[in-house]
């Protein structure tokens, strides 16, 4: 049964990919031009600008419903270890006389940021709040027929995590500013977690638990710490003996450097005493090729854990089956102009995008060394990433099917059913496709 599902899934994915425009540039080239992309899930949404225009509604149609799931905006790193993983080796080197001048300078910067993070681990930053104000403002601009309608109901729900709640608040503030008559309902509850932040269970958990063995060879092959360690430490043998070659140090330092784009240091001067705002770019410590290699590790890691990777039985997108079922069930109840907004995490947006097969998101790739030719995580889950499904109906007096358009990070996407009016698809075709897909998975999950 599992093999049958995977075969069907691969065929459907192949169909979806055949409708795609090929990447104009390689991931290496894109990262060389914009190193922020190498940050993977730390990418600032506004360092990845979307096109300004969207395809107009088909003649005789108007949007009447928007359903959405969005990730919180930029945040501080999640725990002390995210910072101390690179601070402690530098402290040890300083104590033992093995640190360079640049190493000391880097240590000082890291310590200031770490000190400022006290009590703020995982919190939304000023940048994260700004991202959601922008998303909310553009949502109203793109779909005024929905968001500017008098007394329009907007149902907004969030996971119980503070950064998600504040992201929801920022977005709803913009919608309320655009339309003071909007009837916005906010809800936060543990009772909503089963679909807003579904945990791994059953076949998803079993498949995901074995993913590390596929990642480790690439983590080793794509980590080249010699140059960065020579900048930080003055004794290669000490690095070999005390830091086991420095691979872990390099990866930890890269994560902190990549997440620096989550901060607007100009606004945080009061929290970081003595901060030199103009000279606080740690990502510049890495070459473009090192950024590319570090990104490749993380691209494979996220694909194995949340994409339709055959190495994990193409099961991981189904971690969001409850979310997709909620999207479908809620859409079935809509009879008037309205919107449904949901706020959570990248570990939900990414597999949902893959489950929906938005653009290249649902790709099935056997050779992980060539993954970035087809599947690039920064296209899916920057900070503030979001999926919007917009429903269109015939205008009054007209007849026709309900149509749907999908946006991933405000970019129009292909969907896994045929259409003769891209980016618009018949909702009846999509609904059946997704319901059938979920039912096939649930049959397998029940068997095992």
For the chain, domains (ranges, CATH) are: 2-76+123-203+302-447 (3.40.50.1240), 80-121+211-297 (no CATH)
With cut-offs at 50, 70 and 90, classify the pLDDT of residue 22.
Answer: confident
Q: Is the pLDDT of residue 5 over 60?
A: no
Count CB-CB contacts under 10 A for residue 199.
10
Residue showing tokens 């993977």: 40
pLDDT at 8 (0 to 100): 41
Provide the 3-class DSSP secondary structure of residue 337.
coil
* Average pLDDT of the segment spanning 9-28: 58
Q: Is the pLDDT of residue 11 over 50?
A: no
pLDDT at 111 (0 to 100): 94
Tell me: the pLDDT tens digits for 368-420? Answer: 999 999 999 999 999 999 999 999 999 998 999 999 999 999 999 999 999 99
Tell me: the pLDDT tens digits for 302-338? Answer: 999 999 999 999 999 999 999 999 999 999 999 999 9
User: Alpha-carbon distance 208 to 311, whole Å?
Assistant: 9
| Cis peptide bond prior to 423, omega within 30° of 0 | yes
Q: Which residues contact 9 (CB under 8 A, 6 or more apart)?
A: 308, 314, 364, 437
Count CB-CB contacts under 10 A for residue 111.
14
- Give φ, ψ of 215 to 5 degrees: -80, -40
Q: What angle do CA 360, 168, 137 make, to 5 degrees?
A: 75
User: Alpha-carbon distance 5 to 3, whole Å?
Assistant: 5
Among 48-62, 269-283, 354-368, top mean pLDDT goes to 354-368
Tell me: the pLDDT tens digits for 116-157? Answer: 899 999 999 999 999 999 999 999 999 999 999 999 999 999
Average pLDDT over the chain, rounded to whole?
93
Nearest to 320 by CA among 448, 445, 196, 156: 196
Pair type for strands 386-394 and 403-408: antiparallel
* Average pLDDT of the segment spanning 166-171: 98
Exposed/middle/buried for residue 230 (C-beta within 10 Å: 0-12, 13-18, 19+): middle
pLDDT at 16 (0 to 100): 36
Q: Which of 18-22, 32-36, 167-171 has the lowest mean pLDDT?
A: 18-22
Type and span of the H or E element at 142: helix 126-142
Pair type for strands 403-408 and 338-344: unpaired
pLDDT at 43 (0 to 100): 98
Tell me: the pLDDT tens digits for 174-214? Answer: 999 999 999 999 999 999 999 999 999 999 999 999 899 99
Provide the 3-class DSSP secondary structure of residue 399.
coil
* Average pLDDT of the segment spanning 96-114: 96
With cut-offs at 50, 70 and 90, classify the pLDDT of residue 164.
Answer: very high
* Average pLDDT of the segment spanning 211-219: 96
pLDDT at 397 (0 to 100): 86
Type and span of the H or E element at 203: helix 202-208
Tell me: the pLDDT tens digits for 264-299? Answer: 866 665 555 555 545 678 999 999 999 999 999 999
The percent of residues above 70 in pLDDT, for the chain, comes to 92
pLDDT at 51 (0 to 100): 85
Global pTM exceeds 0.85:
yes
């Amino acid at each position: 049964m599992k093999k049958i599902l995977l075969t069907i899934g691969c065929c459907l994915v192949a169909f979806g990919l055949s409708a795609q425009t090929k990447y104009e540039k390689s991931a290496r080239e894109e990262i060389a031009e914009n190193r922020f992309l190498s940050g993977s899930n730390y990418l600032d949404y506004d360092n990845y600008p979307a096109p300004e225009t969207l395809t107009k509604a088909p003649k005789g149609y108007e949007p009447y419903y928007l359903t959405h799931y969005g990730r919180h905006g930029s945040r501080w790193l999640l725990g002390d270890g995210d910072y101390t993983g690179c601070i402690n080796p530098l402290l040890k080197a300083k104590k033992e006389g093995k640190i360079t001048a640049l190493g000391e300078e880097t240590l000082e910067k890291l310590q200031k940021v770490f000190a400022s993070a006290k009590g703020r681990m995982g919190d939304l930053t000023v940048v994260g709040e700004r991202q959601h104000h922008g998303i909310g403002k553009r949502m109203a601009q793109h779909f005024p027929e929905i968001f500017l309608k008098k007394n329009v109901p907007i149902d907004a729900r969030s996971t119980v995590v503070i950064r998600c709640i504040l992201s929801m608040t920022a977005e709803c503030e913009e919608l309320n500013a655009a339309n003071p008559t909007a009837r916005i309902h906010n809800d936060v509850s543990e009772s909503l977690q089963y679909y807003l932040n579904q945990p791994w269970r059953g076949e998803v958990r079993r498949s995901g638990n074995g993913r590390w063995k596929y990642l480790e060879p690439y983590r080793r092959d794509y980590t080249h710490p010699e140059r960065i360690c020579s900048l930080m430490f003055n004794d290669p043998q000490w690095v070999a003996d005390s830091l086991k070659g420095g691979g872990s140090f390099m990866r930890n330092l890269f994560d902190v450097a990549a997440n620096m784009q989550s901060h607007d240091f100009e606004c945080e001067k009061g929290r970081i005493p003595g901060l030199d705002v103009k000279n606080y770019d740690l990502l510049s410590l890495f070459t473009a090729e090192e950024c590319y290699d570090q990104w490749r590790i993380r691209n494979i890691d996220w694909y194995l854990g949340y994409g339709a990777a055959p190495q994990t039985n193409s099961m991981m997108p189904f971690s969001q089956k409850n979310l997709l079922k909620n999207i479908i069930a809620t859409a079935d109840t809509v009879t008037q102009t309205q919107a449904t907004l949901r706020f959570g995490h990248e570990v939900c947006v990414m597999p949902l995008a893959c489950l929906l097969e938005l653009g290249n998101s649902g790709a099935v790739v056997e050779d992980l060394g060539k993954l970035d030719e087809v599947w690039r995580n920064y296209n899916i889950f920057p900070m503030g990433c979001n999926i919007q499904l917009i429903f269109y109906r015939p205008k009054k007096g007209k007849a026709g099917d309900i149509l749907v358009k999908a946006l991933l990070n405000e970019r129009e996407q292909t969907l896994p059913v045929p259409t003769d009016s891209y980016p618009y698809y018949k909702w009846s075709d999509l609904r059946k496709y997704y319901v059938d897909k979920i039912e096939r998975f649930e049959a397998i999950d029940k068997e095992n």
